Amino acid sequence: MARARELFPGGVNSPVRAFLGVGGEPVVAARGRGSRVWDVDGKEYIDFVLSWGPLVLGHASPIVLDALEKAMQDGTSFGMPTELEVQLGTLICERMPHVEMMRFVSSGTEATMSAVRLARAFTGRDVILKFDGCYHGHADSFLVHAGSGVATLGLPDSLGVPAELATLTLTAPFNDLEAATTLVRDNRRAIAAIIVEPIVGNSGFIAPEPSFLEGLRALADSAGALLIFDEVMTGFRIAPGGAKERFGITPDLTTLGKVIGGGLPVAAYGGRRELMERIAPSGPVYQAGTLSGNPLAMAAGIATLTALTPELHRRIEKRTVALVKGLQKIANELAVPFTADCAGSMWGFFFSSTPVRNFTMAKASDIGLFKRFFHAALERGVYLAPSPFEACFMSAAHSDDDVADALDRMGDAMRVAIA
Ligand code: PLP
């Protein structure tokens, strides 16, 4: 890490990895297998971060490695259309039929940034509405009340974002339909898009209240704006078909990332054909990428989505529920103010006596206790997201024994954290 700090800002290549949210030295990863990751000193952890979500089959899944090995023999990049792109695109389309057409990119940031560009082009308007504590990548328009790493560092916004651009991003509290309605009403001819994480993962795990997403759908329609579901984190985690399947609400555009690359850099944005046909070269909205649709990344994504059947999804979900219920039980027995929740293979918790419905409430949870618990769990070989404002994940490689083992260790950690 000393050498890394000379080479990289904060010693890392993405801020939350630096452990500033919890203090102490980051874990330096050496290798992973299944549910486990080992650091460079040989210490083993049960991993619930899973590269921040992509590894739904676990570390070094033989299914993914075999697909990579095979694809690699034919070359690592072409900058030409390939059959692999069609295969992954078809898999996504089958699971999310509302994504009629898509474009592959290499990061979630690219996906959301491009989706907003398309929404602006389609509507001829500039303003977007996002929600406090939702993170949509680091493009300028989104670094306003952005949750996650930004919040962990205590930076309300980022320097370097032009004030003029920031004025085009309106924010409302998550789960506050009334605030969103007021903003949309006051800006109805200016709003190009409402963008939302259907379940927030970047303020910790926060589920939408029953009519919130439905309300946003109606609001977008009433203002002639597009509804964008940012499913970079939730996609293929909260249901086999994502938020549309779980909540029955159809967005105009969807952004995907993480799971669809199976651990390699892939993301996508897509939606109705009439919208996506505006993207170059079919239409006038420019967006491109040298490594977009990279064959290795496509192969990893195809292997991952093919393996992730609805049956496997249900199996992982069952273990996630068991973990979350187990944690809640431990906290209740210790009389610790605690609330935990999950959807599919995504989960999270707060040291809070009431359920958390927005970012303000997340920030009001007991952050000091979170830090003590995090470090006590880490010491006992459980790797949780190193910030109170991040979701955790489960993979197909986590067995019932892993869940029981993790609960034992986290139970000890909680006792130590409150002592
Ligand atoms: N959108 C959401 C919901 C995310 O969680 C993230 C990253 O965590 C992004 C967008 C940005 O993705 P990336 O880090 O691949 O740029």
For residues 213 and 174, the answer to whether their CB atoms sit within 8 Å is: no
Confidence band for 52, pLDDT divided at 50, 70 and 90: very high
Residues designated as active site = 135, 230, 258
Choice from 105, 136, 148 to test ligand 1 binding pocket (greatest atom count within 8 A of CB): 136
Whether pLDDT at 194 is above 60: yes
Is 397 within the bounds of a domain? Answer: no
Q: CA-to-CA distance for 97 and 81, rounded, in angstroms?
A: 22
**Residue 293 falls in which region: left (phi positive, over 0), alpha (psi -120 to 50) or beta:** left
Higher pLDDT, 281 or 156: 281
Choice from 14, 107, 232 to test ligand 1 binding pocket (greatest atom count within 8 A of CB): 232
The first and second tokens of residue 188, run together, are 């109805």
Say if ligand 1 is within 6 A of residue 390 CB: no
Q: What is the mean pLDDT of residues 38-52?
A: 98
Residue 233 CA to ligand 1 centre (angstroms): 7
Say if ligand 1 is within 6 A of residue 136 CB: yes
Q: What pLDDT was estimated at residue 153?
A: 44
Instruction: Decide the pairing of beta strands 253-256 and 226-231.
Output: parallel
Q: What is the mean pLDDT of residues 241-262?
A: 98
Q: What pLDDT was estimated at residue 314?
A: 98
Residue 111 CA to ligand 1 centre (angstroms): 9
Q: What is the mean pLDDT of residues 170-179?
A: 96
For residues 169 and 128, the answer to whether their CB atoms sit within 8 Å is: yes
Is 141 within the bounds of a domain? Answer: yes
Could you tell me the CATH number of the domain that includes residue 208?
3.40.640.10
3-class SS letters over the chain? CHHHHHHCHHHCCCHHHHCCCCCCCCCCEEEEEECEEEECCCCEEEECCHHHCCCCCCECCHHHHHHHHHHHHCCCCCCCCCHHHHHHHHHHHHHCCCCCEEEEECCHHHHHHHHHHHHHHHHCCCEEEEEECCCCCCCHHHCECCCHHHHHCCCCECCCCCHHHHCCEEEEECCCHHHHHHHHHHCCCCEEEEEECCCECECECECCCCCHHHHHHHHHHHHCCEEEEEECCCCCCCCCCHHHHHHCCCCCEEEECHHHHECECCEEEEECHHHHCCECCCCCECCCCCCCCCHHHHHHHHHHHHHCCHHHHHHHHHHHHHHHHHHHHHHHHCCCCCEEEEECCEEEEECCCCCCCCHHHHHCCCHHHHHHHHHHHHHCCEECCCCCCCCEECCCCCCHHHHHHHHHHHHHHHHHHHC
Tokens 């999804």 sit on residue: 313
Q: What pLDDT was estimated at residue 162?
A: 86
Residue 404 CA to ligand 1 centre (angstroms): 30
HSE (CB half, 13 Å, CA atoms) of 246? Answer: 26
Confidence band for 246, pLDDT divided at 50, 70 and 90: very high
Q: CA-to-CA distance for 284 and 153, rounded, in angstroms?
A: 38
Is 123 within the bounds of a domain? Answer: yes
Q: CA-to-CA distance for 247 and 36, rounded, in angstroms?
A: 32
Confidence band for 147, pLDDT divided at 50, 70 and 90: low
Say if ligand 1 is within 6 A of residue 107 CB: yes
Is 102 within the bounds of a domain? Answer: yes
Is 407 within the bounds of a domain? Answer: no
Residue 232 CA to ligand 1 centre (angstroms): 6
The protein residue whose alpha carbon is closest to atom 1 in ligand 1 is 136
Is 220 within the bounds of a domain? Answer: yes
Q: What pLDDT was estimated at residue 68?
A: 98
Q: Average pLDDT over the chain, rounded to whole?
A: 96
Q: What pLDDT was estimated at residue 270?
A: 98
Q: Point out the ligand 1 atom lying closest to the alpha carbon of residue 202.
A: 5
Say if ligand 1 is within 6 A of residue 108 CB: yes
Q: What is the mean pLDDT of residues 239-263?
A: 98
Say if ligand 1 is within 6 A of residue 112 CB: yes
pLDDT tens-place string over residues 69-89: 999 999 999 999 999 999 999
Is 138 within the bounds of a domain? Answer: yes
Q: CA-to-CA distance for 83 and 80, rounded, in angstroms?
A: 10
Whether pLDDT at 401 is above 90: yes
Name the pTM for this structure: 0.97
Say if ligand 1 is within 6 A of residue 232 CB: yes
Say if ligand 1 is within 6 A of residue 137 CB: yes
Q: What pLDDT was estimated at residue 154?
A: 40
Q: What pLDDT was estimated at residue 159?
A: 86
Least confident among 102-116, 137-151, 195-209, 351-365: 137-151
Q: What pLDDT was estimated at residue 146?
A: 64
The protein residue whose alpha carbon is closest to atom 13 in ligand 1 is 108
Say if ligand 1 is within 6 A of residue 233 CB: yes
70: domain range? 62-307
Q: What is the mean pLDDT of residues 390-396?
A: 98
Q: Point out the ligand 1 atom lying closest to the alpha carbon of residue 107.
A: 15
Q: Which residues pair with 255 in a beta bridge?
A: 230, 269
Say if ligand 1 is within 6 A of residue 388 CB: no
Q: CA-to-CA distance for 200 and 207, rounded, in angstroms?
A: 6
Whether pLDDT at 151 is above 60: no
Q: Structurally, how many domains does the chain consist of?
A: 1
Q: CA-to-CA distance for 197 and 179, rounded, in angstroms?
A: 17
Whether pLDDT at 174 is above 60: yes
Q: Point out the ligand 1 atom lying closest to the alpha carbon of residue 257.
A: 15
Q: What pLDDT was estimated at residue 195?
A: 98
For the chain, give the percent of residues with pLDDT over 70: 97
Q: What pLDDT was estimated at residue 279?
A: 98
Angle between helices 295-307 and 83-95 in degrees, nearest 10: 30
Q: What is the mean pLDDT of residues 374-381?
A: 98
Is 156 within the bounds of a domain? Answer: yes
Confidence band for 156, pLDDT divided at 50, 70 and 90: very low
Closest alpha carbon to 88 in 337, 267, 323:
267
Residue 109 CA to ligand 1 centre (angstroms): 6
Residue 335 CA to ligand 1 centre (angstroms): 35
Say if ligand 1 is within 6 A of residue 230 CB: yes
Whether pLDDT at 93 is above 90: yes
Whether pLDDT at 149 is above 70: no
Q: What pLDDT was estimated at residue 164?
A: 86
Cα dihedral value 15, 16, 17, 18, nearest 10:
70
The protein residue whose alpha carbon is closest to atom 5 in ligand 1 is 233
